[in-house]
Amino acid sequence: MENTPEKFKHIKGWGIDADPKNDPTYPMKRRTNEEHKGYSWQRPTQQPIDIEVLHSNERPNVTAVFGESVPPSGLSGMIRRFAFKHSENSYLHWLPLLLADRVNVVEGIVEDFAHGKVPNIFEEKGYVAEWKYNRTSLLTKMAVVAAITAAGVMLLARKNEDDD
Amino acid sequence: MLAMNYRGPKRVRIDEKPMPEIKHPQDAIVRVTRSCICGSDLHLYNGNVPDTRVGSTFGHEFTGIVEEIGSEVTKLKVGDHVLVPFNISCGQCAFCKQELYGNCHESNPEATAVGAIYGYSHTAGGYNGGQAEYVRVPYANVGPTVIPEGMDPDDAVLLTDVVPTGYQAAEMAGIQKGDTVLIFGAGPIGIMAAKCSWLFGAGRVIVLDKEEYRLEFARNYADCEAYNFEEMDDPVLWAKKQTDWMGADVCIDAVGAEAAGNVMQTITGRKLLLQAGSATALHWAINSVKKGGIISIVGVYGPTDNLVPIGNVLNKGLTIRANQASVKRLLPRLIEHVQNGVLNPKGLITHRIPLEEVADGYRMFSGKLDNCIKTVLIPPSARM
């Protein structure tokens, strides 16, 4: 229903100081108050929903178009389905999604191996560029990692000797 | 086709992926000629955006040649060379009709708070992005714009995000003639916001960052002052002294979630993910602006919460304006500016590399190696 004086005639003084130009969203928005009519616009043709699409529970449907890059699957998919039972207002939406992303990384490595591909972590992390432009820092990081690993191995070895 | 493939935080590679297909009558398939790595891609790259799925292709800044169109596409034809705004918008919903093209309600099923963006996680709609040889472009009657004859493709690709976002940052700041504009961040967006602040009549434009090479770049490109906040005891106190103890008239946050400069924000926001990124720049903006001033936010944050001094927003009577750039709304004016030589977008590009070297491109941009400001990826077919 339109926001007309008729609708609010029971409220004394309704709208007497309204100034349509006083809009904090200016200049981003060309105010036409379309949204006052609710979810009533003529929707574009619906893209066929031939994959699983998780949609926010803050809307009633899947949007007319949607991305189909990576449908939910596996354990991460189960976690994502749980997340989408909760609104965007809830940590129970966002935190499980972050967890699912981390689980998905492990799934990705398993998937690589299943397809006979060994991930080249050195290349994937862009260490070729790091080697070319920031060699000292890269060597320092590698030395630190090697030292920590060596220290850890020595500690474990000593603990095993003590246990024996 | 070749496409960037996200494998986990700080791990990407180039892979063979299936060709995109027409999924909707208003779709087009575009053969990419240029794509960029954006500062906001680093939030994805670092694993900070929820619902970033392994196997995704990033890239929301790209140009390309139309290879195929759906049955309802009337405004493009095969062979057109187009620049594609980073927001996917239907043009029919209540928000698009009011030119809020970054807030379309018919393109992102996964989140109502976020518009759809190419290659920007399922939180932004789950679309594959343009760091590939080919990409599916929905609502092809609405977003894609034919690149004007004579325009350099390097200028065109920066009109898809960097230029409109920098321009809208200045526009939202409500700059009045003579205003002092304080911009946090000397990345491509911050530098472009500095350049555009002059177009709105700024009297003084100051950029803060911690990377000397970026500050030098900003000084030369945007004719602004640029200072290293690491050389200041307290950037907010410094800003007050610079403005006769009043505070800047407007502040622009052009950094977002990856901000450095505050240990507590860095640990809780970037390392532990206890907040939606580090809000250091926004914190400083709120405290550096004058009473009754305006803060414009174009730096990207995650969807949860951030620690900022909201009490000061109230007590100082501040106005905060923020949005993803409405690229389609701004394009006609910005194309004019480029054609008239008012803006020189391609001057921001420091690196042009083959698409196949995308992993190195991300590393260089994120590590700020080799004085990197802006990286453009060029697919094999565009190098012939």
Q: What is the pLDDT of residues B279-336, one digit of tens each?
A: 999 999 999 999 999 999 999 998 888 999 999 999 999 999 999 999 999 999 999 9
B13 & B147 share domain? yes
Percent of chain B with pLDDT over 90: 95
| Domain containing residue B253: CATH number | 3.40.50.720
Q: Which of B286, B307, B322 is the C-terminal boundary of a domain?
A: B322
CA B327 distance to own-chain centroid: 11
Q: Which among A21, A25, A28, A80 is the top mutation candidate for probing chain B, defined by the most B β-carbons within 10 Å of its own β-carbon?
A: A28
B121 & B260 share domain? no
- The pTM of this model reads 0.93
**Nearest-CA neighbor of B87 among B49, B61, B109?**
B61
B67 & B136 share domain? yes
Helix, coil or strand: residue B18: coil
Within a domain: A6: no
Local confidence band at A1 (pLDDT 50, 70, 90 cut-offs) = low
Tell if the CB–CB gap between B94 and A34 is shorter than 8 Å.
yes
How far is the alpha carbon of A19 from chain B, nearest alpha carbon, in Å?
18
Helix, coil or strand: residue B61: coil
Determine the pLDDT at residue A15.
Answer: 79
Local confidence band at A23 (pLDDT 50, 70, 90 cut-offs) = confident
B244 & B296 share domain? yes
Within a domain: A164: yes
Determine the pLDDT at residue B271.
Answer: 87
Local confidence band at B337 (pLDDT 50, 70, 90 cut-offs) = very high
Local confidence band at B199 (pLDDT 50, 70, 90 cut-offs) = very high
Average pLDDT over residues B90-118: 96
Q: Which of B322, B341, B374 is the C-terminal boundary of a domain?
A: B322
Within a domain: A72: no
Question: Who contacts A16 (Cβ-Cβ below 8 Å, separation ≥6)?
Answer: none
Overall domain count for chain A:
1
Bridge partners of B294, per DSSP, are: B250, B319
Strands B28-37 and B87-88: unpaired
Q: What is the pLDDT of residues B38-96, one digit of tens each?
A: 999 999 999 999 999 999 999 999 999 999 999 999 999 999 999 999 999 999 999 99
Local confidence band at B346 (pLDDT 50, 70, 90 cut-offs) = very high
Residue ranges making up the domain that contains B354 = 2-161+326-383
DSSP state of A12: T
Overall domain count for chain B:
2
Largest CA distance in chain A: 90
For chain A, positions 135-164, list CB contacts with chain B under 8 A: none
CA distance B267 to A3: 48
- Residue whose tokens read 């092809």: B140
B18 & B152 share domain? yes
Tell if the CB–CB gap between B13 and A91 is shorter than 8 Å.
no
CA distance B220 to B20: 41
B141 & B175 share domain? no
Report yes or no: B376 and B349 within 8 Å, Cβ to Cβ.
yes
Inform me whether the C-beta atom of residue A25 falls under 8 Å from chain B C-beta atoms: yes
- A67 C-beta neighbours (distance < 10 Å), count: 31
How far is the alpha carbon of B44 from chain A, nearest alpha carbon, in Å?
11
CA distance A11 to A14: 6
CA distance B128 to B130: 7
B298 & B365 share domain? no
User: Vertex B65, ends B59 and B67: CA angle to 5°?
Assistant: 105
Residue ranges making up the domain that contains A134 = 122-164
Determine the pLDDT at residue A2.
Answer: 62
User: Based on the number of CB atoms within 10 Å of its own CB, is B276 exposed (0-12), middle (13-18) or buried (19 or more)?
Assistant: buried
B231 & B107 share domain? no
Q: Which of B290, B322, B354 is the C-terminal boundary of a domain?
A: B322
Tell if the CB–CB gap between B11 and A34 is shorter than 8 Å.
no
Determine the pLDDT at residue A25.
Answer: 84
Question: Who contacts A114 (Cβ-Cβ below 8 Å, separation ≥6)?
Answer: none
Average pLDDT over residues A104-110: 97
B91 & B19 share domain? yes
